[in-house]
Amino acid sequence: MNPSVIANTGVSETGASLLSIQREMASVFAEIADLFGNPSSLGAIYGLLFASPEPLSMEEIVERLGISTGTASQGLRRLAEMQAILPKKEDGERVTRYEAKLELRPFVAMFLEQQLLPKIGHSAERIETLKQKLSSIPKDSREELGIRMERASKWHRRAKTFLPLVRKFLGG
Amino acid sequence: MNPSVIANTGVSETGASLLSIQREMASVFAEIADLFGNPSSLGAIYGLLFASPEPLSMEEIVERLGISTGTASQGLRRLAEMQAILPKKEDGERVTRYEAKLELRPFVAMFLEQQLLPKIGHSAERIETLKQKLSSIPKDSREELGIRMERASKWHRRAKTFLPLVRKFLGG
DNA sequence: ACTTCATTTCATTTTGAATTGAAGTGTCCG
DNA sequence: CGGACACTTCAATTCAAAATGAAATGAAGT
């Protein structure tokens, strides 16, 4: 009668249903992580913890998601670094358990600050450098290209002022 | 004395320098495309056209970027679809030449509308569906999970109202 | 109708990032 | 000390997405 056939690792009857919700939540967050250029396992782990009232150990995460210990270990580390989850070493326990922080901010911030801003900054630099090379090309092209690169620079400036705003808005 | 060793396909002395600028610009835009989850060839083609005062044919693009005809063909189609470039079939000419539109809007809009919004919408739906499954789990977990899913829904709603705003701001 | 040449298509190949898993590290407790 | 256990590391593997390139298509000119 239990519809879930997979990896019933000592979880109670009703637990199976909770597990299916947790797996679905993991899958939803996996998609989102992927959308933002993160490994989907990151999202899956976060999603599972998000849908877990009780903190989970790495072993439980590995079990419930069917991922490898390596992936879980690295994923947990990155999530902790980006402050999306909270590791809790309980008193006399051997294991570390993790719980999801429920704010969106860490996710968004991590993406904006670690991915977007640096890369935008980097390409802005490259364009500045290019502007200087312009002097060495024929006059006709030079003028038009100068205009275009100025335009590209403008985009970058706008993005740089705008992104922190996004962060503020979504971060609350 | 010419520093450029690669694929000098009958381009004049000064042209080599222009070519190097175009290649660098292609590379900058390739990175940006990649950052937004698009194939980097898309960015490269757009970057080349952006740094090209004269419209270019597919053959010229293939030559200058060293990509295959297949990649060029598909890339040009997608760029034209997203209105980032303009195909110009000249009077009695065989070839189609392409020029870059210089606005950022098509790029941003394409990303927001084709990638972000639909996927955000999709995961919002999945979470709504999940909310209904909540009734079948034990009371204690149910309450906490209900709160969390409500929170997740809130994020999605916020994102959905906010993204069109981004579009308007960057799109000008 | 035939040739030529630009372009598209798509089965195959390449590439690179994510994942695996087994060996290694460290730590706790008897 | 030593063995059990939680976790980390990293070389090897997997896998999906992108790129290739040769064959198919199609449009122009003769």
Q: Where are the domains of chain B?
A: 13-100, 105-171
B57 pairs with which residues across the strands? B97
More confident residue, B49 or A17: B49
DSSP-derived secondary structure letter, B29: H
List all residues of chain B from 74 to 133 with a beta carbon under 8 Å from chain A. Answer: 102, 104, 115-116, 119, 122-123, 126-127, 130, 133
Give A85's DSSP letter.
E
**pLDDT score for A114:** 80
- Classify each residue of B85-114 as buried b or exposed e, where b means 16 or more C-beta atoms within 10 Å of its C-beta: beeeeeeeeeeebbbbbeebebbbbbbbee
Of A48, A138, A156, the residue nearest B12 (C-alpha):
A138
Cβ atoms of residues B121 and B164 within 8 Å: no
B31/A72 Cα distance (integer angstroms): 29
Mean pLDDT for A91-95 is 86
**Chain mean pLDDT for chain A:** 88
Contact by Cβ (8 Å): A25, A48? yes
Residue A14 has pLDDT above 70, yes or no: no
Give the pLDDT confidence score for residue A144 in this predicted structure.
97
Q: What's residue A6's pLDDT?
A: 38
Q: What's the pLDDT score for residue A108?
A: 79
Which residues, given as ranges, of chain B have pLDDT below 50?
Answer: 1-12, 15
Q: What is the pLDDT of residue B4?
A: 36
Q: State the pLDDT confidence band at A165, using cuts at 50, 70 and 90.
A: confident
Averaged pLDDT for residues A73-96:
93
Backbone phi, psi, residue B66, to 5°: 65, 40
| Whether residue A155 has pLDDT greater than 60 | yes
CATH architecture of A13-100: Orthogonal Bundle (1.10)
Task: Write down the pLDDT at residue B98.
Answer: 98
Tokens of A57: 């150990």
Measured between alpha carbons, how far is A39 from A50 in angstroms, rounded to an integer? Answer: 17
Does A56 have pLDDT greater than 80? yes
Apex B91 CA angle, B89 and B94, nearest 5: 60
Label residue B1 exposed, middle or buried (CB < 10 Å: 0-12, 13-18, 19+): exposed
Q: Are the beta carbons of B162 and A162 separated by less than 8 Å?
A: no
**CA–C1' gap, A4 and C11, in angstroms:** 39
Q: What is the pLDDT of residues B114-149, one digit of tens each?
A: 888 999 999 999 999 999 999 999 999 999 999 999
- In terms of C-beta distances under 8 Å and separation of at least 24 residues, what long-range contacts does B74-79 make, across chains too? B75/B39, B75/B41, B75/B42, B75/B44, B75/B45, B76/B45, B78/B42, B79/B42, B79/B45, B79/B46
**Could you say which DSSP state residue A113 is in?**
I
Q: Does A2 touch chain B (CB under 8 A)?
A: no
Q: Between residues B172 and A123, which one has the greater pLDDT?
A: A123
How open is the CA angle A26-A28-A33, to the nearest 5 degrees?
90
Cβ contact B136–A17 (<8 Å)? yes
How high is the pLDDT of residue A104?
Answer: 82
Can you tell me the distance from the alpha carbon of B31 to that of B92, in angstroms, rounded to the nearest whole number?
Answer: 37
